[in-house]
């Protein structure tokens, strides 16, 4: 999955713009020679960072370790240090409309923005499932894809791994929602929390969360329909963060 995703970004990003850079980071301890070999033509545009697995705690779940990995990458990545900002995207499956989000994120940060992301923030599930809001959660940040300046990340997000633990329901999406939602509606903050369209993802979801829109397969009929509904809501009802 990682090789297929990286190859897709090679075609969609690196081949089209030689100024673009990718930082590929992982913490499995696996030999990356096969992954490196698949992008031999663009070696100078890709930075590989492999982190030792013993520095992480699998018992705390995905979000905890994801933040620890981003923290370590910021200290090691020359590309990110030179740019002063980065767009984080999952490496497990491709975002087929990644170019749209790259352009929007770059424009936002170039014009003084500090964070470009997305979240759902509605009370529909609170009303429909008042006794099961842990599973049916209408308040969560989207962490598969976001962009931020290094300074904003370090000041606001880097330390949040301490609050994350999947076993207790403290998922990164919930932790970051609580932190970021205070910027909702504050145009002077430089924080943008709503995408103009839905990301089009391939592959399989790693999450097991329950929402009306959720499907394990990103290319399933249900996912396609819900993306269409999501895009319609974003256009017709921008105040409904569903």
Q: Return the biggest CA–CA distance within the chain.
A: 54
Contact between residue 89 and residue 95 where contact means Cβ atoms under 8 Å apart: yes
The pTM of this model reads 0.90
pLDDT at 223: 84
3-state DSSP assignment of residue 143 = strand
pLDDT at 203: 66
Q: What is the dihedral of CA 22, 209, 104, 159, to 10 degrees?
A: -70
Q: How far from chain centre, in Å, is Cα 200?
A: 13
Q: How far is CA 160 from CA 100, 153, 177, 200, in A?
A: 28, 10, 11, 28
Measured distance CA(115)–CA(157) in Å, rounded: 11
Strand-strand pairing, 85-89 and 139-149:
antiparallel
Could you tell me the fold of the domain covering 2-236? Spore Coat Polysaccharide Biosynthesis Protein SpsA; Chain A (3.90.550)
pLDDT at 207: 52
pLDDT at 176: 98
Q: Where are the domains of the chain?
A: 2-236
Measured distance CA(127)–CA(122) in Å, rounded: 10
Q: How far from chain centre, in Å, is Cα 123?
A: 23
Low-confidence ranges of the chain (pLDDT < 50): 208, 210-212, 215
pLDDT at 108: 98
Q: What is the dihedral of CA 8, 4, 78, 157, to 10 degrees?
A: 100
Q: Which residues contact 135 (CB under 8 A, 6 or more apart)?
A: 129, 209, 210
Name residue 47's beta-bridge partners.
Answer: 23
Q: Which residues contact 101 (CB under 8 A, 6 or more apart)?
A: 87, 95, 145, 147, 195, 199
pLDDT at 144: 95
């Amino acid at each position: 999955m990682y090789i297929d995703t990286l190859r897709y970004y090679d075609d969609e990003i690196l081949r089209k713009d030689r100024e673009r850079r990718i930082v590929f980071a992982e913490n499995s301890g696996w030999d990356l020679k096969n992954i490196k070999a698949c992008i031999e033509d663009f070696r100078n545009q890709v930075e590989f960072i492999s982190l030792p697995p013993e520095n992480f705690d699998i018992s705390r779940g995905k979000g905890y370790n994801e933040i620890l990995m981003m923290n370590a990458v910021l200290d090691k990545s020359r590309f990110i240090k030179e740019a002063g900002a980065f767009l984080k995207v999952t490496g497990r499956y491709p975002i087929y409309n990644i170019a749209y989000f790259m352009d929007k994120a770059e424009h936002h940060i170039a014009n003084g923005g500090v964070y470009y992301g997305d979240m759902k923030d509605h009370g529909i599930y609170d009303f429909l499932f008042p006794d099961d809001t842990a599973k049916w959660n209408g308040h969560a940040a989207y962490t598969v894809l976001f962009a931020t300046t290094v300074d904003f990340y370090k000041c606001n997000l880097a330390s949040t791994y301490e609050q994350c633990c999947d076993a207790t329901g403290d998922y990164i999406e919930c932790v970051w929602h609580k932190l970021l939602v205070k910027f909702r509606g504050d145009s002077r903050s430089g924080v943008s929390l709503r995408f103009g369209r839905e990301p089009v993802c391939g592959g399989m979801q790693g999450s097991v969360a329950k929402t009306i829109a959720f499907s394990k397969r990103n290319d399933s009929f249900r996912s396609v329909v819900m993306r269409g509904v999501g895009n319609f809501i974003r256009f017709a009802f921008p105040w409904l963060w569903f």
